[in-house]
Amino acid sequence: MSAVIEIEGLRKTFNSVRNGRRVAVDGFDLTVGAGEVHGFLGPNGSGKTTTLRALLGLVRADGGWMNVLGAPSPTHLSQVAGRVGAIVESPQFFGNFTGYRTLRLLALAGGVPVSRVDEVLEQVGLHDRGDERVKGYSLGMKQRLAVASALLKNPELLILDEPANGLDPAGIREMRDLMRSLADAGVTVLISSHILAEIQLICDHVTIISRGRRVAAGRVEEVLAGFDQHEFLVRVAEPERAAELLHAGGLPAVAHPDHLVVGQVDDPTTISRLLGEQGLWVRELTPLRPDLESVFLELTGEGAHPEVPRQVDSGARDRVIELDTGVGEGRGGDA
């Protein structure tokens, strides 16, 4: 499968008098193959939006190499811009313009037939509200309008930064269906999102970024399999005694008030057998499969210290210190 997006060693540092030097992206790599629906995950301030902005020529990279649809970006981006639809971080529109006029002006500027405007308004469910001023739109409607603007070009590649922002559950489902139908039509989709369950449902591939670096990438099931601890949830009458028995049988187990979690289980019948031999009968035996959220939290360290208030992009600041002192690598880089 040919690569539609290739990023290698992308680096970007922001310098400001007030905030000093901040490394936003630090040698990041990303590959998106043709026809993929690719999830791009990372905590706030991890470098997702900076990466997408650099890819789309809105931010000047300090280093690295990027390619979009075979054209080096940003130098030759204009050659393929007509085939790339994108929204970056909830775009704002003039409140005084109607949704229709907003899209019409973009279509005019991009040389797209104006007839496409009605089609994309229909596609995102705004057809009946297209004649209303944008300032009357809800956040979700503005998001739909943004997606409509990205779809105007009938793109081969769709880059969406947080497309589900502000959408209600029904809207999220519609967006998911839209992404799927686009993917079925052969459109490659790169979605950056915080809604991990949605990414798991929509995407077939995923890349996770933390502190400006890639910490995981691949097919979703492969990434999840890499974190499968072969754990099972077991419900029995006496969890603590059961845990001791399983330990003695060579299976690490952690007892909880009403259940226990057993790890390194290759054959779940071993659990039933060990406990049954001692008169403890298993009421429930459920495999614990990792989901994207748990993998994400583990990789990015976001869930490590729930009692400590988490700081946005604190990882990136840590990185600066490490670079300045030359000591060690960040956790993200090691993963």
Q: Which is nearer to another protein, 12 or 38 (CB)?
A: 12
Q: Which is nearer to another protein, 59 or 175 (CB)?
A: 59
Q: How far is the CB of 9 from another protein (least distance, A)?
A: 19
Q: How far is the CB of 57 from another protein (least distance, A)?
A: 5
Q: Which is nearer to another protein, 77 or 201 (CB)?
A: 77
Q: Which is nearer to another protein, 75 or 269 (CB)?
A: 75
Pair 236, 281: CB distance under 8 Å:
yes
Q: Checking DSSP bridges between strand 157-161 and strand 3-16, what pairing results, if any?
A: unpaired
Q: How far is the CB of 162 from another protein (least distance, A)?
A: 14
Q: Which is nearer to another protein, 45 or 239 (CB)?
A: 45
DSSP alpha helices (H): ranges in the chain? Answer: 48-55, 77-80, 99-110, 115-123, 139-151, 169-184, 196-202, 220-225, 239-248, 269-276, 292-300, 314-325, 331-334
27: amino acid identity, one letter: G
- Residues of the shown chain interacting with another protein in the complex, contacts defined by CB under 8 A: 14, 50, 53, 56-60, 74, 77-78, 81, 84, 86-88, 91-94, 96-97, 101, 105-106, 108-111, 149, 153
Q: State the Cα–Cα distance between residues 184 and 162, nearest whole angstrom.
A: 21
Pair 69, 80: CB distance under 8 Å:
yes
Alpha-carbon Rg for the chain, nearest whole angstrom, is: 24
Q: How far is the CB of 134 from another protein (least distance, A)?
A: 11
Q: State the Cα–Cα distance between residues 36 and 3, nearest whole angstrom.
A: 10
Contact partners, residue 122, CB within 8 Å, separation at least 6: none
Q: Which is nearer to another protein, 107 or 234 (CB)?
A: 107
Q: How far is the CB of 212 from another protein (least distance, A)?
A: 15
Q: How far is the CB of 26 from another protein (least distance, A)?
A: 17
Give one DSSP letter per residue of 258-269, joined into a string: S-EEE-S-S-TH
Dig out the tokens for 331 from the structure. 């956790």
Q: Which is nearer to another protein, 105 or 285 (CB)?
A: 105
Q: How far is the CB of 69 from another protein (least distance, A)?
A: 13
